[in-house]
Amino acid sequence: MPSARAQVRRDLVAESMPSGRAERAPGAVLTLVALFLVAINLRGAITDVPPLLTSIREDLGLSGAAAGVLTAIPVVSMGVFAPLAHRGAARYGYERTVAASVVVLLVGVLIRLGGASVVLLFLGTLVAGAGIAVLGAALPGVVKTHFAEHAGAVTGLYSAAVGVGAAGASALAVPLSDGFGSWQLSLGVVAIPAVLGLFAWLPVIRRAKPVRTDPSRTGTGTGTGTGTGTTDATEARRTEPTPAPAPGTAAPDTSPWRRPVAWILAVFLVMQTTAYYGVVGWVPAAYEEQGWSAERAGLLLSVFGLTGIVSGLVIPLLADRFTDPRPLFAVTVAGAVVGMGLLAFAPDLAPWPTIALLGLTLGGAFPLMLVMLVRFAPSPAAAGRLSAMTFLIGYPIAAALQIVFGTIHDLTGDYTAVFAVLFAMTLVELAVSLGLDPKHARHP
């Protein structure tokens, strides 16, 4: 029988093995499939609301500001609840945290079935947003744990899933509402992919190794989990000296709050998320006000989501080939500037190509940022902390701005000023992206 100390050393060696080896394991394909099915749920419970927003407002008597609150709730949740992903992963592992977040999302969707009550509609949206928040913050840690050597490709895969879910939910919302005779039942349909994703993820949980808690963090209540290792290994870390970081790498325990790159990413996320949800939340209503049918306006969001699938696949793959990500950011965000400018100042010139351009660019900028969350983090736990901090700052501010946009519409009577502000924010996004120097991947 091997000694406990020998077993500890084997655990430590196994943890330090490149993720590429794990990726070539027989279960890797099943993990990728499960990741795809789970990621489909990251936007569907958000993008199914805007095409139905006019009907919801009429049925419930919501003002523009109240509608802004409804569209902002999931975005607020994505920031407020994102840190729970890191805490959950520290104690239970990323795999179980992902499963729990899908369950919470499913509960929220089911609560929304009582959407004839304003309270249940808003409560269900809040709960669903909490599930989406934890899920979105946990997935970069999953990628770092299982597929660190191919972060761009795998991020592209689940970004494509996000696009599929977003486009499908927005395209089907109005037809399902008409077919059911109820927008509440239409909102409930997104429970189906949540159930499918949950069942697909269960084998991933069974293959997951026990969680090892970082003893340097447990005393503060902000422990980190690697998803590998044993309790014996934890005891060994208490007695054995911690090796110094390899030259050219960031210290694993560097707090993201002290890292300039974390703040750059947070500001970038504010601008990108505000623009993304500005399109998702207000474009259908804006074109309905111009005389479009609800179904046709909803199809604009489908185009937005479908083109986002393309860029979500391609841009992260390109990121793996670029040591310096700034040229990719510059091209991607510049396209968003052009698209938002057309939406603000010439909305009738070419609405379909404009929305397609915004889908390509805003849909590509977010997964590109996710790749940076993995690249600028030295470990899965650090990726989780960086994601949590970035989301905690970015999403609540972006959500508050959605409420401001609803108020601007109430005051002005149209969406021109809303899209003009979003145009200005894409300009800021472009400027901020130029600060993502590759040296941040090597130095705190």
- Provide the pLDDT for residue 254: 65
- Provide the pLDDT for residue 217: 43
- Provide the pLDDT for residue 21: 42
CA distances from 228 to 1, 52, 148, 363, 370 (A): 22, 44, 15, 33, 23
CA 212 to chain centroid, in Å, comes to 26
- Provide the pLDDT for residue 307: 87
- Provide the pLDDT for residue 246: 41
- Provide the pLDDT for residue 368: 84
- On whether the CB atoms of residues 72 and 387 are closer than 8 A, the answer is no
352 token code pair: 């379909």
Cβ contacts of 153 within 8 Å, gap of 6 or more: 147, 316, 317, 320
Tens-digit pLDDT string for the chain (444 aa): 444 444 433 443 333 333 444 445 556 788 888 888 999 998 888 888 888 888 888 888 888 778 878 877 887 887 788 778 878 888 888 889 999 999 999 999 999 987 678 889 999 999 999 999 899 888 877 887 777 677 777 877 877 788 788 878 888 888 898 888 888 899 999 999 999 999 999 988 887 766 554 433 433 333 333 333 333 333 333 333 334 444 344 444 467 787 788 888 889 989 998 998 888 878 888 898 888 888 888 788 888 888 888 887 888 778 778 788 888 889 999 999 999 999 999 988 999 999 999 999 998 888 888 788 777 777 767 777 787 788 888 888 887 888 888 888 888 888 889 999 999 999 999 998 888 877 755 444
- Provide the pLDDT for residue 427: 94
- Provide the pLDDT for residue 2: 46
What predicted TM-score, i.e. pTM, was given to this entire model? 0.67
**Residue range 81-99, pLDDT digits in tens:** 877 887 888 888 888 999 9
- Provide the pLDDT for residue 13: 35
